Amino acid sequence: MSLSESIGLALVGLGCVFYLAGTVGLLRFPDVFSRLHALTKADNLGLLLVCTGLAVLEASWRVALLLASIWLLGLLAATVSAYLIARHAHHAGAAGRPAAEGERP
Amino acid sequence: MTPELLVDVILAVGLVALSLRVVSGGELFRDIVVFIVFGLVVALSWARLGSPDLALAEAAIGAGVTGALMLMAYRRLASRSGGASGDRSRRLRLAAPVAVLAGTAVAIIGLAALGIDGASDSGGAAALAALPATGLGNPVTGVLLMFRGLDTLLELVVLLVVLLGAWAMMIPGPPPALHLVSRDTPLVAALLTIAAPLCVLVAVHLLVVGADEPGGAFQAGAVLAAGGVLLVLTGVLRPSREAGPVIRLAVLVGPAAFVVVGVSAMAFGRPVMELPGLWAVYLIETAMMISIAVTLSLLFGRSGGFRRGGP
Amino acid sequence: MSSLAVYVVAAAAVFGVGVYGLIVADHVLRKLLALNMMGSAVFVLMVAVSGSAQGRPDPVAQALVLTGIVIAVAATAFALALLVRIHHDTGRVTLSERGDDDD
């Protein structure tokens, strides 16, 4: 295995760890805001690491550019949807109280 | 077990687990969201099965548009829970045995079919052999446009008939406003300025590369429809009762272009639906993309047409 | 067990689950979810089976399934339009058991 392959695989693996952490946070945290916090922060970093790892593995500028745009689009979608969910939860008065069963995390 | 097989097994287990979660009868909103996740896992399965065209279509249409339609209907129905209807107990007693029987039958058929070696003169083999002559690189686009064009045309007609049916079922009175968030909301304006043009860019990209790589009119139309959904949800477009001339034209242009190009082949002494070249493929696919996008957006908005929303 | 067989078995299981959901559900929206899952299961089955010969899916099967996905969303959209109308006219979101009006 070449050096770039090991670096790429390590980055993808590290990204998966962040995804796992974000998902555990989503499932374990008590209320909407901390769940969003775990999900957006950890998953955006995880996506960045996975994209970087794949770009290193592929070693092509075209693919790297496409992966970068995927990450930026992911960031945009995560930011706006997290903001809208948080806003909705805030208006609904869900702040601070534990998320009820069936409530959108 | 090889790593590839492990991935397949994880996806397969995921499919079954998610489907069980959908039918297990929790809160309806949650089940619809799980159904969307199911669609995304199906899309991953398509990629693993070697069909990126279907992966794109499933993610955009199967999970995306269907999910959006379901969520919008859920909102319209004001989340009423279904009351018990009629003799429920007999139905429940029968459900599990019937389901097991159906699943077993499908498994037997599938595994038996898997054991049969495909005929070397199958339609797929013929399509692959004839593909280089068409100038297309993507065999699925070749089948859809060149070899089975009539099927694709009739598919567009089905979409049109569905739209007419939905129009006939429209609730009397002005259609209610659908927008969930104002575009004055911080971040939403930014999303619109970036995402709406990007939808057009991605759709055109999918359309153009669809000749040689995964993509095509259906995937492009669905991405464009996603942009339409975004505009409806943010109130940039508001549903109106009547379809204006532009909307009528957009809905018809896909099947019309297909019919005109397909039938005019006769004038040059060629069989009906034989396309004269790559330019005709691009022309028809562009028209199809517009019709599909507008039809799906109208079905989502449950409206006759759209008008520009106020600020 | 090959990868294709894994998907065939999963598709059969999802089909069975869909049949169960279709029978058990009261809310029509739930029935539509189950019906859509049954459709997806059949699509996966068709493509998995068509891939057995050449090692990659048959392009005709792929085109057929692509058509199927679009028709499925169209049928779902029409069913939802009907459901919203029925709800508007009768206030119900369920089907009566034997076609009789048991309101």
Cβ neighbourhood burial of A96 (10 Å; 0-12, 13-18, 19+): exposed
pLDDT > 80? residue B180: no
With a pLDDT cut of 90, the percent of chain A lying above it is: 34
In this structure, how many other beta carbons lie within 10 angstroms of the beta carbon of residue C34?
A: 23
Cα–Cα dist B187/B115, whole Å: 54
In this structure, how many other beta carbons lie within 10 angstroms of the beta carbon of residue C43?
A: 25
B71 Cα to chain A: minimum distance (Å)? 13
Reported as a pLDDT band with limits 50, 70 and 90, residue B119 is: low
Give a yes or no: residue A102 inside a domain: no
Cα–Cα dist B297/B225, whole Å: 5
Cα–Cα dist B155/B138, whole Å: 20
Find the angle CA(C86)-CA(B299)-CA(B177) to the nearest 5 degrees. 80
Q: Which residues of B touch C12 (CB under 8 A)?
A: 103-104, 106-107, 110
- From the CA atom positions of chain A, what is the Rg in Å? 17
At A11, phi and psi to the nearest 5? -65, -45
Reported as a pLDDT band with limits 50, 70 and 90, residue B12 is: very high
pLDDT of residue B118: 62
B42 or B177, greater pLDDT: B42
Contact between chain C and chain B (3 or more Cβ pairs less than 8 Å apart): yes
- Taking residues B120-134, what's their average pLDDT? 79
Range of the domain at A9: 3-91
The 10s digit of each residue's pLDDT in B217-271 is: 999 999 999 999 888 888 888 888 888 889 999 999 999 999 999 888 888 888 8
Cβ neighbourhood burial of B116 (10 Å; 0-12, 13-18, 19+): exposed
In this structure, how many other beta carbons lie within 10 angstroms of the beta carbon of residue C45?
A: 25
The interface predicted TM-score of the complex, written ipTM, equals 0.91
pLDDT > 60? residue B311: no
Asked if C77's CB is within 8 angstroms of B69's CB, the reply is yes
Task: Write out residues in chain C with pLDDT < 50, as ranges.
Answer: 100-103
Give a yes or no: residue A32 inside a domain: yes
C46 inside 8 A of chain B by CB: no
pLDDT > 50? residue B203: yes
Token look-up 């693993």 returns B48
Asked if B195's CB is within 8 angstroms of A76's CB, the reply is yes
Strands B305-308 and B237-240, bridge-based pairing: antiparallel
Torsion of CA B28, B30, B32, B37, to 10 degrees: -160
Question: Residue type for B240, please?
Answer: S
With a pLDDT cut of 70, the percent of chain A lying above it is: 89
Give a yes or no: residue A105 inside a domain: no
Helix, strand, or coil here: C5?
helix
pLDDT of residue B121: 67
Q: List B residues 124-143 in contact with C (Cβ-Cβ < 8 A).
A: 124-125, 127-128, 139-140, 142-143
Q: Which of B256, B280, B260, B276 is nearest to B268 (CA)?
A: B276
pLDDT of residue C39: 95
Token look-up 């995880």 returns A46
Cα–Cα dist B28/C33, whole Å: 10
Q: Are B59 and B40 in contact (CB under 8 A)?
A: yes
**Domain assignments of chain B as residue spans, ordered by start:** 1-108, 137-311
Q: Are B139 and B131 in contact (CB under 8 A)?
A: yes
User: Which residue of chain C has the CA closest to B63?
Assistant: C73
Top residue of B98, B169, B171 to mutate, by most chain C CBs within 10 Å, is: B169
Q: How many domains does chain A have?
A: 1
Give a yes or no: residue A58 inside a domain: yes
Span C3-90 CATH architecture:
Orthogonal Bundle (1.10)
